[in-house]
Structure 1
Amino acid sequence: MRIVLVGPPGAGKGTQAVRLSEELRIPHISTGDLFRANISQQTELGKLAKSYMDAGNLVPDEVTIAMAEDRMGQPDAENGFLLDGFPRNVSQAEALDELLENENVTLDAVLDLEVPEDEVVKRIAGRRTCRNKSEHVFHVTYSPPKKEGVCDVCGGELYQRDDDSEGTVRKRLEVYHTQTEPIIDYYKAQGLVVTISALGPVDEITQRALGALKRDEDAK
């Protein structure tokens, strides 16, 4: 299967992408991973992307598209892939269509993880991170520490990252609504969008997604 995963920040795309790629036995292609891999390996695309990032500028679509094209052309993606974070806007979606058309393949589905905006804010703004170990993350509602403000693992101070503040989250949502959400209508016109609720336990959402994808595939 060839799938694009979309949804607002805080929808759990990263978690579901890993689970779905394992269940469907297709590679999870994340934009973040592509950037990190190309930069660490110092590829020409990585050097180009880093030059924009170091200057505080957005990486142009053509660089992101070229990275995605290179990754989708690798042997493990021959029979399918799950794209996470790409395409990020309609221009990238059009470029992806062109790339796939050149390979005589098509997308099977665009899985839209639907989460109410207030829930997104609650999920992200409730995160608390350990100052000693950044991988130790708690949540004031869903996974609170035993002692408020103190990491259960190492005793470090828990704090709210600037990226997790409510104001920043709402700005990220504005960017999503403006830039990324239009691709849902773009793909709806092609009959590719499968929408599921991303509320509830992680395992339940995964099974919900797999069921929806199977029903969509059977209906075609």
Structure 2
Amino acid sequence: MNRKQHPVIVAAFILGVFSVVGTGLVSMVFRHTEPLIEANERATLLRSIEALVPPDSFDNDPLTDTIELADPLLGVRQPVPIYRARKAGKPVTAVLSPIAPDGYNGAIRLLVAVRYDGSLAGVRVLSHKETPGLGDPIDEHKSDWILQFAGLSLQDPPEPRWGVKKDGGDFDQFTGATITPRAVVQAVRKTLQFFRDNRDIVFAPPQQEETP
């Protein structure tokens, strides 16, 4: 072996050992922290649901009483979870997670809670990339604009008025920004239409696990 090659081989070996050990440590840390991350995500989602659906209005676990559906009205091609709140086995509210695909800077992820009678319990924005100061008033922490949906339905206002005022609808747009509120209003309207057409499917009884 060439003496000049020996240090290079040793260095490469040492780097390889460190790489294997480092990968193992990262994997071990991930395995130990993954349950904690999942628990935190679950707790955050449950808080979001309970902000829209009062906890005393249901007695089941919406995070386990779920159904996955896909429909163009929800802005998705892949199935998304729908969380069902029930009390004494009777349907109360479905919490859907549609996408408004046509935000100014991309998709806007929503949480839309629809009562069994088709009225809205409320709407929240889960994530967005809208321009700060222009499109971000859809965030409840920046504005109360998103709170106006509670109690509305496809009858109040009538479907033709489900739009921003610039388009002849009932909903305010933002100063200098119309695309963002338009996208949210249309996504909520389409979610209500989906619920109206699929309520029985949305609230189908949860599947019972087969007894071995």
Relative contact order higher in (CA < 8 Å, ≥ 6 apart): 1
In terms of fraction of residues, the more strand-rich structure is 2
Say whether the fold is shared (TM-score over 0.5): no
Higher helix residue share: 1
**TM-score scaled by length of structure 2:** 0.26
Q: TM-score, normalised by structure 1?
A: 0.25
